[in-house]
Amino acid sequence: MSDTRKLIIVSNRMPVTVEKKKGEIHFHQSAGGLATGLGSFYRSYNSIWLGWSGISSDRINRKERESITTKLANDFGSYPIFLSKKDVELYYRGFCNRTIWPIFHYFPQYAVYDKSLWESYKYVNKLFSNAVMKVAKPNDIIWIHDYHLMLLPMLLRKKLPNASIGFFLHIPFPSFELFRLIPWRKEILNGLFGADLIGFHTYDYVRYFLISAYRLLGYEHTYGQVIVGNRVIKVDAFPMGIDYAKFDKATLNPKVKREVKNIHKNVNDRKVILSVDRLDYSKGVLQKLDAFSLFLEKNPEYKGKVIFILLVVPSRTKVEHYRLLKRQIDESVGEINGKYGTLDWMPIWYLYRSLPFHRLAALYSVSDIALITSLRDGMNLVSKEFIATKRNRHGVLILSEMAGAVEELGEAIIVNPNNREEIAEALEKAMKMPIEEQISRNKIMQRRLQHYNVVKWANDFIDSLHKVKEQEQKLYAKVLTPEREDKLINAYVKSNNRLIILDYDGTLVPFAGSPEEAKPDSKLMKMLKAIANDKRNTLVIVSGRKKETLEKWFGKLNIGLGAEHGAWIKEKEWDMIAPLRNDWKIRIRPILESYMDRTPGSFIEEKEFSLVWHYRKVNSELALTRARELKDDLLHLTTNLGLNVLEGNKVIEVRNIGVNKGRAVLKWLSKKDWDFVFAAGDDLTDEDIFAVLPKEAYSIKVGLGISQARFNVESIKDLRLLLKRFEKAV
Ligand code: ADQ
């Protein structure tokens, strides 16, 4: 990084674990996907890592606390957060692992919803926020990891409005139907939206998240970009990679070589199936044991010729479902070994412990098959590590279609973890797969993994974070600041021939459906009247509404009107902009009607020269799908009929080509030599106005977002305050 900003990484656990044994403090590097993944990356930056030390604060005194902090800062570039036994119980074992983990892994039957756990989650997120604030500078880059800290982005955003904040979720983001079960779902989403960039492993998780954001908070997105107030938030997929070179080269390491020899001695020429997982119900360990048993039953010729190495890493042993699972695994292994084992052959070798790298790599290396049957898995790094260790060598990966890794490892044998027959058949297929085929499949996957390794992943994430910030700055560059507003008012005061063009819905009043709900309030009428009565002003309102509605509302004011997006205009009398046809309606109306019938909450509005399908009140996902389908259906027809299909704010409108607000505005623009031109609008249809204005005109988009307008204001309220100044200026 060329600038002096720090990179602050925040995760539940630091890459170092602190332990107290027999009164002495020990430090050791933690295992686990994240620590392994980021380890190589974060050292290359001017960075600091914040996280829980792993030791409960009740077990250490103040002096120990200080010495731990100093040692971590000096030797590991880390800053510890101390949690009490109670915090760990309620926050970590509680809300994180009894509420979020089961819901996000599609185990709602295991989830508990308990206010005291939620309160603790909020409290610990605040502790993290306080800790970050002790080290952070206003413009630092902060990268927050995983489901333990989903409230942290917003807590930090409130204190550091200019910081670049990224969030990455390592576990799946569930479908809306699951996510909505959590009583505090909105608070969680709001917490995440404090980040500038929200990253997931796969595009599916991105979609699920965006749907939840839309349904729960009403946030819409364009290509994964969400605008909230004056902020731009990007949501995107970054499939986490591994430290490829480390695994690729592992078999050259003498320690690994020795270990490989050892294993070979014990295995003889038997085939080895390997299973590596943390102890977790989401990993489908029981399912693979069951499938292995079925495989032996169906293929008795493999009895005595295959060994299943089951490596299970202890995890969350104090949470009840994990303890139960451990018992079930023990029983299942015992049963299978009891049923099939002989005096000189034990089908399953079961290890329940963590292993040092060289032993894990040796296991990857000697195994013929890796069997991964996660019921849900954010990514699954084990599958990638296995493939990386197999450079130029054979080995077959059997991978669950429920693991995020499947997106990149399509050459593996893909299985549904709930289908025991399919897994048993996959084992058989893997056993029989020709060596050349194994190598050629692996090569394709290796190229991919080598290219998008963990460093590239991390760099990609940070680069995207910078880009979002730049984009936000660009949008912000157009915001009508007080200084710019003063200049505009100055120009207004000095001019004598002013043209003021205003859109109506979404610009002067909030969107509403019926004319009754949307009619102008008395304050607005008073202001428009005052502006119109100034002899130097020509005020025009151009709207998509029918001419009858505009006439009713504004007919008595001394202003120009454009109705139906400019199909009709009124200076003194209403007039058609050009000879227009509407005989096409007979063909288009039945199509819109069929959509209306199948889409509860939608309705059709008929204007003289257009037909509009409104879907504001339709269930949001259905609305998006239907709107897309309808546009596709219409596009085929409308080109031949000389029609245009236009998407407005929750409407799709069909009308004659050549009718648009810009064309109507040209009528007024060409009338005089104006010395002040002003236009304000909010949606796509107003872009046609902005497009025809002279360069020096003051064009304003209400709301942030990409626009041809020169300036943005944040809200209708801001625009009305500005217009109020027109009224007041003399
Ligand atoms: P995990 O659920 O921990 O990670 P995984 O992605 O497989 O799952 O990572 C496990 C890591 O632990 C691997 O790097 C592996 O090498 C290591 N490991 C496994 N067994 C070991 C053993 N016996 N001894 C030592 N090390 C061992 C979470 C999500 C995943 C996501 C990762 C990263 O649940 O879906 O892939 O984060 O984002």
Neighbours of 520 (CB within 10 A): 16
Q: Kindly give, in sequence order, each residue whose CB lies less than 8 Å from that of residue 38, ignoring residues fewer than 6 positions away.
A: 9, 15, 454, 458
Cα 270 to averaged position of ligand 1 atoms, centre (Å): 27
Name which of 148-152, 409-413, 453-457, 538-542 the model is least confident about: 453-457
Question: Mean pLDDT for the chain?
Answer: 92
Cα 545 to averaged position of ligand 1 atoms, centre (Å): 58
Q: What is the DSSP string of 179-242?
A: HTTSTTHHHHHHHHTTSSEEEESSHHHHHHHHHHIIIII---EETTEEEETTEEEEEEE-----
Range among 4-13, 136-145, 654-663 with highest mean pLDDT value = 136-145
Q: Does residue 183 contact residue 95 with C-beta atoms inside 8 Å?
A: no
| Reported CATH class of domain 244-449 | alpha beta
51 lines ligand 1 (CB under 6 A): no
Using only C-alpha atoms, the chain has a radius of gyration, in whole angstroms, of 32
With tokens 């209306």, the residue in question is 596
Name which of 177-191, 341-355, 587-601, 637-651 the model is least confident about: 637-651
Beta strand extents in 67-201 (DSSP E only) = 78-83, 141-145, 164-168, 197-200
Q: Quick one: pLDDT at residue 36?
A: 58
> pLDDT by residue (tens digit) across 174-196?
999 999 999 999 999 999 999 99
pLDDT beyond 60 at 32: no
The ligand 1 atom at the shortest distance from the C-alpha of residue 311 is 23
pLDDT beyond 90 at 99: yes
Every domain of the chain with CATH number 3.40.50.1000 lies at 482-578+659-728
Residue nearest to atom 17 of ligand 1 (CA): 32
Q: Quick one: pLDDT at residue 194?
A: 98
pLDDT beyond 90 at 109: yes
**Across 477-499, average pLDDT:** 94
622 lines ligand 1 (CB under 6 A): no
More confident residue, 617 or 593: 593
pLDDT beyond 90 at 52: yes
State percent of the chain over pLDDT 90.
76
More confident residue, 215 or 729: 215
> pLDDT by residue (tens digit) across 643-659?
889 888 889 999 988 88
In whole angstroms, give the CA distance from residue 325 to residue 348. 17
State the catalytic residue, choosing from 146, 503, 683, 686: 503
Q: Does residue 528 contact residue 539 with C-beta atoms inside 8 Å?
A: yes
The ligand 1 atom at the shortest distance from the C-alpha of residue 353 is 23
**Across 316-330, average pLDDT:** 91
Burial bucket for residue 718 (CB in 10 Å: 0-12, 13-18, 19+) = middle
139 lines ligand 1 (CB under 6 A): no
Cα 403 to averaged position of ligand 1 atoms, centre (Å): 12
> pLDDT by residue (tens digit) across 238-259?
999 999 999 999 999 999 999 9
pLDDT-derived band of residue 234, with 50, 70 and 90 as boundaries?
very high
Q: Quick one: pLDDT at residue 31?
A: 54
Q: Quick one: pLDDT at residue 1?
A: 43
Q: Quick one: pLDDT at residue 33?
A: 54
* 248 catalytically annotated: no
In whole angstroms, give the CA distance from residue 116 to residue 187. 15
Every domain of the chain with CATH number 3.40.50.2000 lies at 7-83+112-237, 244-449
pLDDT beyond 90 at 119: yes
| Architecture of the structural domain at 7-83+112-237 | 3-Layer(aba) Sandwich (3.40)
> pLDDT by residue (tens digit) across 383-408?
999 999 998 789 999 999 999 999 99
pLDDT-derived band of residue 101, with 50, 70 and 90 as boundaries?
very high
The fold for domain 482-578+659-728 equals Rossmann fold (3.40.50)
351 lines ligand 1 (CB under 6 A): no
pLDDT beyond 60 at 526: yes
Q: Quick one: pLDDT at residue 566?
A: 92
> pLDDT by residue (tens digit) across 264-294?
999 999 999 999 999 999 999 999 999 999 9
Cα 663 to averaged position of ligand 1 atoms, centre (Å): 61
Q: Quick one: pLDDT at residue 229?
A: 78
The ligand 1 atom at the shortest distance from the C-alpha of residue 381 is 6
Every domain of the chain with CATH number 3.30.70.1020 lies at 585-656
Residue nearest to atom 32 of ligand 1 (CA): 33
> pLDDT by residue (tens digit) across 356-369?
999 999 999 999 99
Domain 585-656 is found in CATH 3.40.50.2300 = no
408 lines ligand 1 (CB under 6 A): no
State percent of the chain over pLDDT 70.
97
Cα 275 to averaged position of ligand 1 atoms, centre (Å): 12
